[in-house]
């Protein structure tokens, strides 16, 4: 198989409370999928803990210390309004970031052409100095900066098709050199960022979609703007912020995509990766809160990564 799975059981131990949408059930559903054919043939790699040196490529040292000190000995605590933490949350977050960094190592070394990080908590809302939107560490951003600073990769593209805009990843792209962030997302919607007015050639491309948009609008935006921008950037590595909450069954938004749309965008980005960067893609799980839709969407995504 040309795609490996990166995960760790510790990511199941991040507890968020009984009514919270970002629950361990999300990862349980994906891991159950991986026990079935053909996914049980994918190489499975146990994610390490990311070092704090890697985290500091994106996050302020003071923020790292505050989060560590905020982890409760028992029960739950709120890191911010909707981002919860339990006793194992910091270790889970380190494994999620570590999964993305090890995947970068292995893909760049040619061990695998592509990787999918089945890990939580998600990351694209996390900013340099604050947790946000269920996210503690910005896994995709850390992986991008890790590839640049530790692996000698210059140009990294991050494509984010989560239904929510990745405000944390946008902030990184605006201050980093040679990182292109492309985001399709419902707008207006949490967190309120992601305006076209913020776009910068070769750095940031927001592709906002109004509520009720579906496959036609989604595909047209990427065909006319997203894919041409990705090709012009000529990346050496592509990182996907793979959120599946733009699915029509997802409870947190109002975009009407299907599994076929997630397969389509994955296949098209894989074609560009084959043209521009030796097929190298690292995909990092973000949102997706209807469990059945998440499971089927991840299945479509994985099959497209191996096509």
Torsion of CA 120, 231, 174, 146, to 10 degrees: 50
Among the listed residues 14, 125, 185, 301, the single catalytic one is 125
Residues 238, 272 contacting (CB under 8 angstroms): yes
Domains of the chain, CATH where assigned: 3-305 (3.40.800.20)
State the Cα–Cα distance between residues 28 and 36, nearest whole angstrom.
13
Residue 147 tokens read as 């590839």
What letters, b where the CB count within 10 A reaches 16 and e where it falls short, cover 224-248?
A: ebbbebbeebebbbbbbbbbbbbbe
In tens digits, the chain (307 residues) has pLDDT values of: 589 999 999 999 999 999 999 999 999 999 999 999 999 999 999 999 999 999 999 999 999 999 999 999 999 999 999 999 999 999 999 999 999 999 999 999 999 999 999 999 999 999 999 999 999 999 999 999 999 999 999 999 999 999 999 999 999 999 999 999 999 999 999 999 999 999 999 999 999 999 999 999 999 999 999 999 999 999 999 999 999 999 999 999 999 999 999 999 999 999 999 999 999 999 999 999 999 999 999 999 999 999 8
Residue 208 tokens read as 């906002």
Q: In the annotation, is 187 catalytic?
A: no
């Amino acid at each position: 198989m040309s795609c490996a799975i990166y995960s760790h059981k510790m990511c199941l131990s991040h507890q968020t409370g009984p009514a919270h949408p970002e629950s361990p059930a999300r990862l349980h559903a994906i891991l159950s999928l991986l026990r079935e054919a053909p996914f049980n043939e994918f190489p499975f790699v146990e994610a390490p803990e990311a070092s704090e040196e890697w985290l500091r490529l994106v996050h302020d040292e003071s923020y790292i210390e505050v989060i560590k000190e905020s982890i409760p000995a028992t029960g739950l605590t709120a890191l911010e309004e909707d981002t919860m933490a339990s006793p194992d949350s910091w270790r889970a977050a380190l494994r999620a970031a570590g999964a993305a960094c090890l995947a970068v190592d292995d893909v760049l070394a040619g061990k695998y052409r592509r990787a999918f990080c089945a890990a939580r908590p998600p990351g694209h809302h996390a900013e340099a100095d604050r947790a946000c939107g269920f996210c503690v560490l910005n896994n995709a951003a850390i992986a991008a900066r890790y590839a640049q600073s530790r692996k000698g990769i210059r140009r990294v593209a991050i494509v984010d098709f989560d239904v929510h805009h990745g405000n944390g990843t946008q902030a990184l792209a605006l201050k980093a050199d040679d990182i292109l962030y492309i985001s399709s997302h419902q707008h207006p919607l949490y967190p309120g960022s992601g305006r076209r007015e913020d776009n910068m050639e070769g750095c940031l491309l927001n592709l906002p979609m109004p509520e009720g948009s579906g496959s036609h609008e989604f595909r047209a935006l990427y065909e006319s703007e997203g894919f041409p921008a990705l090709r012009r950037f000529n990346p050496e590595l592509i990182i996907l912020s793979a959120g599946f909450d733009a699915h029509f069954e997802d409870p947190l938004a109002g975009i009407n995509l299907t599994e076929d749309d997630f397969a389509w965008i994955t296949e098209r980005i894989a074609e560009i990766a084959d043209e521009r960067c030796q097929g190298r893609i690292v995909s990092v799980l973000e949102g997706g809160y209807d469990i059945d839709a998440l499971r089927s969407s991840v299945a479509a995504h994985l099959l497209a990564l191996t096509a």
